[in-house]
Amino acid sequence: MKQIKVLGSGCRSCELTARLLEDEARALGVDVAVDKVTDMGEIMSYGVLETPGVVVDGHVVHAGGVPRHQAVRDWLLAP
Amino acid sequence: MFHAFAWFADRTTYGVLGLDASTHIANAVHFFVDDVTKIFFLLVTVIFVMGLFRSALSPERVRSFLEGRSRWAAYVMAVTLGAVTPFCSCSSVPLFIGFVEAGIPVGATMAFLIASPMINEVAVTLLLTLLGWKLTLLYVATGLAVGVAGGALVDALGLERWVEEYVWKIRVGAAPGGARRLSPRQRAAFAWGEVSDIVGRIWIYVLLGVGLGAVLHGYVPEDFFARWAGSSNPFAVPLAVVAGVPMYANATGIIPVAEALLGKGVPVGTVLALMMSVVALSLPEMIILRKVLKVRMLGFFAAYLAVAFVTVGYLFNVFWV
């Protein structure tokens, strides 16, 4: 199961990003756990300056703005 | 180049809709059609072109530009970079922490946060087309000056103490990825992403702003604002600044309103003060920044901007005729 973290202070874009990840995962039949991280210390520990950020299995794959559908699919389908 | 839009507005208003050119409604509709078509055409073009440049400019790079500069160089670079890089206000907090943690003075960081919402390519393009190059230069120059002076003041008064303590304890992880290397194709895709992202976010403000501008333009009597907000009323400038606080719009929405107000004889300084107040002084932004700044700092921030905008307003009302 992929561990996904959405980094963000609870802004609208962060909510949209989390929902997009969950919807795409369901559509693709990929097993994921999406976790919303709002603690600033933890967000900054990833070195992300723009939110929302996305962390997949411990690696930062995205920062700033809602990610594109294709990018989300690529993360979910990557082995 | 912009004759095409006026021609299209003529055709729509008098031809397709068959409105009589001497009526209020025809005036308002013409203003609306002319501005909306022109603005959306420009928005798409300019955001795309800037997106191509910006695909190479990440906040990490902005930070490394600012690191280790002398104070004054840092202020000037901070406002300049703030002007060319619009960040979503929801990123204010991580940006603030990331900058401060890198040793950039709090004042330079504040200068960046002041300039970023006020000046951007969208605002500049709209100003140029709707209000002309003189007012554009004025707006940009005073916006930068307000940012630099605000940053310098924050450092001179030692206001770092009004930053929340936990900010100094946060350790920022290594920036992911490093420099972005993109092919021309990826750059174009990024720029189109910017277009749909930004236009998708601001189109409603554009329509509301132009709609309000159209109503002002078509229905408000010529001497109404001249009487109430004209140069004879000494309180017009502070009132404009106060009126701007609850109005939360970005630069895109307020510029058509400014165009209509200027057309009705409101003095330039009063209009500039209103525009800057609407764009830079906003409650949602303050609430977001509360996470890193103490209430006293936010109070100082709001008071400084209000005083600065009132000063700008009076100066231009006196010296710009």
Asked if the C-beta of B284 comes within 8 angstroms of chain A's C-beta atoms, the answer is no
The residue whose two tokens read 């709090």 is: B106
Write the CB contacts of B228 (distance below 8 Å, at least 6 apart in sequence).
B236
pLDDT at B178: 44
Strands (E), B95-154: none
Q: Where are the domains of chain A?
A: 2-77
Q: Where are the domains of chain B?
A: 24-169+184-319
Residues of chain A whose beta carbon is less than 8 angstroms from a beta carbon of chain B are 8-9, 11-14, 40-41, 43-51, 59-60, 63-66, 68
pLDDT at B179: 44
Q: What is the pLDDT of residues B55-80, one digit of tens each?
A: 777 777 778 877 878 888 888 888 88
For chain A, 79 residues long, give each residue's pLDDT as a single digit of tens.
Answer: 889 999 987 777 888 899 999 999 999 999 999 999 988 888 888 888 788 889 999 888 888 778 888 889 999 998 7
pLDDT at A48: 82
Residues across chain B: 321
- For B62, the 3-state DSSP assignment is helix
Q: How far is Cα B181 from Cα B190, in angstroms, rounded to an integer?
A: 12
pLDDT at A5: 93
Query: Do the chains contact at A50 and B197, CB–CB below 8 Å?
Result: no
Token representation of residue B192 = 């189109």
B97 closest CB neighbour out of A40, A46, A65: A40
Token representation of residue B246 = 């609850």
For chain B, 321 residues long, give each residue's pLDDT as a single digit of tens.
Answer: 567 888 888 888 888 887 887 788 888 888 888 888 888 888 888 888 888 877 777 777 778 877 878 888 888 888 887 777 666 666 778 888 888 888 888 999 888 888 887 887 777 877 887 778 888 888 889 889 999 999 999 999 999 899 988 888 887 776 554 445 667 887 888 788 878 877 887 788 888 888 888 888 888 777 777 777 766 678 888 888 888 776 666 667 788 888 888 888 888 889 888 888 888 877 777 888 888 899 999 999 899 999 999 998 998 888 765
- For A2, the 3-state DSSP assignment is strand
Asked if the C-beta of B174 comes within 8 angstroms of chain A's C-beta atoms, the answer is yes
Can you tell me the ipTM of this complex? 0.73
Burial environment of residue B319 by CB neighbours within 10 A (0 to 12, 13 to 18, 19 or more): exposed
Buried b (16+ CB within 10 A) or exposed e, B140-170: bebbbebbbbbbbbbbeeebeebbeeebeeb
Query: Do the chains contact at A41 and B170, CB–CB below 8 Å?
Result: yes
Query: Do the chains contact at A13 and B97, CB–CB below 8 Å?
Result: no
Residue B285 has a CB neighbour count (10 Å cut-off) of 18
Asked if the C-beta of B91 comes within 8 angstroms of chain A's C-beta atoms, the answer is yes
To test the contact with chain B by mutation, choose from A16, A46, A50 the residue with the greatest count of B C-beta atoms within 10 A, namely: A50
* The CATH classification of domain A2-77, taken from the options 3.30.910.20, 3.40.640.10, 3.40.50.720, 3.40.30.10: 3.40.30.10
pLDDT at B321: 59
* DSSP annotation of B293: B
Nearest CA in chain B to A66: B197
Asked if the C-beta of B197 comes within 8 angstroms of chain A's C-beta atoms, the answer is yes
pLDDT at B24: 82
Query: Do the chains contact at A50 and B173, CB–CB below 8 Å?
Result: no
pLDDT at B307: 93
The residue whose two tokens read 């990003």 is: A17
Query: Do the chains contact at A49 and B59, CB–CB below 8 Å?
Result: yes
Q: Which residues in chain B have their CB less than 8 angstroms from residue A60's CB? A: 176-177
pLDDT at B32: 87
To test the contact with chain B by mutation, choose from A49, A55, A60 the residue with the greatest count of B C-beta atoms within 10 A, namely: A49
The model carries a pTM of: 0.75
Q: How far is Cα A53 from Cα A21, in angstroms, rounded to an integer?
A: 12
The pair phi, psi for residue A32, each rounded to 5°, is -135, 160
Nearest CA in chain B to A52: B91
| Closest C-alpha among B14, B16, B6 to residue B37 | B6
Q: How far is Cα B285 from Cα B270, in angstroms, rounded to an integer?
A: 23
